[in-house]
Structure 1
């Protein structure tokens, strides 16, 4: 694993440019205590000592830098940005089914979809099933939803998305649907949630290899701020749901996709290096959701995985970085990885914090930052070789189900 000093240097670099810490607020890795715990904006006081919640608490990042706040603003094509994405965004720790049943399927996140969006998550992965007279977000056994695996009606979550888009008119959200719903079911729910006014039309998506998406600023100006993909072919013409595999390449999800040094394609996806698809989604989570694994791997190993999947995807950085327990890490976590990907996409830099006027303005050297105390001046980000050089920590053995 890369040294703590190297990883902390990247984290402090991003944080210094991303937020203004309150006087005396703790930095990433700094000691804190419960709740807000004295951490700065964009941080959370948490413990990642196994099992999670035990041992001393420290400040960890929850929020990536806004890529629209860099030199290019929203003036780049949509496929030149990277977005923090939550896997099974609806499967939240402690949820009790509205049907009154205890849920036995494992959770993947720790806060509501509304909170995820407020923390800078812009990609949501949702599993949709026809169940109990409507569309529900659910895990399944044998392809069927049951009361003890059904988390929430889809309409409730989609209304959270609508409320966020209404309150944040410069934000764009992407939804990836693992779609088991009957034809017409999902479009009815999107209509009921009031989301059609934000719909990005399929006919504006790039259809030729190498073609760019519209500029992000134009998508915002035209209020086309909700991009929706379905895994089910045939709904594009009838419901306006874009068939994901025509536009996105995705690596294998779960433990089988975490083999060190490889970034294999998901079975449904075209090969990672296919240029016919304009967006790249990188999965980074275990088959069996684990807060402890996220704690240990959502920082340095995740950043290194960016390089592996970049090489596999025809030298393309991921547009979506999908993780479990996105707030769990020993430092910069998934927000840091998103900053790194955006830096690479926008100016070829190791973090978007140093993208200035379309170029990388990264200092060549600087003393190593302290992981505690008030914020120092911006620290130098390490070179690409130091970020991506070390091998990943051991991955868990593959399990049998998503």
Structure 2
């Protein structure tokens, strides 16, 4: 009955779906907690799934290009509220697609189909605010990206900022929900968003620490992008994005370090754990990071460290997933029919474009 109701809701015109979302009072929680409803968007830590569409499971032969064990829908239901993805042009179809570095390496489908997946979840969860961060590997124009949003039926709930640079005070989650603008969209990079002002150039609003970490002692809170001026970025009102994922060096490539993953994503204990790193960045920034981006979000679990930053002790409405590291990894990818030579070549290509 619930599934049929949701299907019927998806068939409604966008304006009616928006009205339904605005008037739904089935939950007093915002992003899984009533304590967050009156908090400003930039005064909350949002857990992010690094390379959200790129899954390492049986469907991809446990591809080492996968950064998550569960798909985007599962991520959102478990508490993830920032989704990052790489956008490439599929050389075969010419379509904008979510592909890991190259569509011949790991192709998760068209951009519009992935956005439709996000939209389906948002319609079913009207009290949730979600952020998308697109890495524009295709160098697509705002017009081209907006066409995908419109085709996915999701552009009507996108938030449009009041300023074209860092904002000192963002709306509260409740404001975003009430206004029907529950999807915030950043693109790295998009210097001209004419015609699609809801697509925000990431580095006008956000700064990041380094993502190239190969040892637990490498994690640093110092700004790395768009430049290394941490105090200047904070003074300008930019939101901190804390990259916290670890790579392991092999002979010709780097790949996600799953051996140390349980510590990397842990809320405490062990060198380079997420909880301690977040505490350190909070101290250095004088505020909590707005975003924390991790690989394999379920391990740790990473959400525990984010809940502590947000002061959330009794989250509601989440669907629990296993916190274990998947048992199949590189051996699964090779047994799926990828020859060793091609496997090594793919890994090398993957390493070249591993940035978010």
Q: TM-score normalised to the size of structure 2? A: 0.69
Q: Write out aligned runs for 1:1-400 (5 A).
A: 69-70=33-34, 72-94=35-57, 106-131=65-90, 132-140=93-101, 145-181=102-138, 182-183=140-141, 184-203=143-162, 207-208=166-167, 211-240=168-197, 241-255=199-213, 259-260=217-218, 262-269=220-227, 271-273=229-231, 274=233, 275-287=235-247, 288-299=255-266, 300=268, 301-312=273-284, 314-329=285-300, 333-343=301-311, 352-353=312-313
Aligned length: 272
Unaligned runs of 5+ in 1: 1-64, 344-351, 356-398
Corresponding residue SS for 2:104: coil
- 3-state secondary structure, aligned to 2:195: helix
Is the 8 Å Cα contact of residues 54 and 106 (structure 2) preserved in structure 1?
no
Change (3 A) 1:254 1:207: closer
TM-score by length of 1: 0.62
Question: Matched residues in 2 for 1:268 and 1:95: separation?
Answer: 37
The CA RMSD measured in Å over matched residues stands at 2.7
Q: Which has the higher helix share?
A: 2
Q: Is the 8 A contact 1:249 1:270 kept in 2?
A: no
Whole-Å Cα distance in 1 between the matches of residues 215 and 96 of structure 2? Answer: 29
Take 1:265 and 1:257, find their aligned partners in 2: how far apart are those partners?
18
1:138-177 residue CA offsets vs partner (Å, 9 max, x unmatched): 122xxxx242332322222111110011111111100011
Distance change (3 Å), C-alpha of 1:243 and 1:206: closer
Deviation at 1:250, TM superposition (A): 1.2
In structure 2, the gaps of 5 or more residues are 1-28, 248-254, 316-350
Deviation at 1:282, TM superposition (A): 0.8
